[in-house]
Amino acid sequence: DIQLTQSPSSLSASVGDRVTITCRASQSINTYLNWYQQKPGKAPNLLIYVASTLQSGVPPRFSGSGSGTDFTLTISSLQPEDFAIYYCQQNNMTPWTFGQGTKVEIK
């Protein structure tokens, strides 16, 4: 299985901060990498697919980059509604796998 390791596992940030989350794959996955946001008690919500394509309706403060084994999710200016857990997910090879999640908390 392809392992995805996110860092950090959690972070504290203030409204307006720039936040970067990284996801490292155990082998090259080209750009077969997606990002999801999950709020408490809710299903995950797709933010970015194919490493850098913003899902329709997602604010442009979210962006993704990377290819191969190293990927980043950036929130350019953190908003109150962005406090959540973020997961990366690979679709290069089944079984599809997720990172362990990064919890973004209020500082």
Interface positions with other proteins (CB under 8 A) = 1, 31-32, 34, 36, 42-46, 49-50, 55, 87, 89, 91, 94-101
Taking the least distance from each CB to other proteins, the nearer of 29 and 78 is: 29
Residue 11 parent element (H or E):
strand 10-13
Taking the least distance from each CB to other proteins, the nearer of 74 and 100 is: 100
What is the radius of gyration, based on Cα positions, of the chain? 13
Taking the least distance from each CB to other proteins, the nearer of 19 and 99 is: 99
DSSP string, 55-92: PTTS-TTEEEEEETTEEEEEESS--GGG-SEEEEEE-S
Smallest distance from the beta carbon of 16 to other proteins, in angstroms?
Answer: 29
Smallest distance from the beta carbon of 14 to other proteins, in angstroms?
Answer: 26
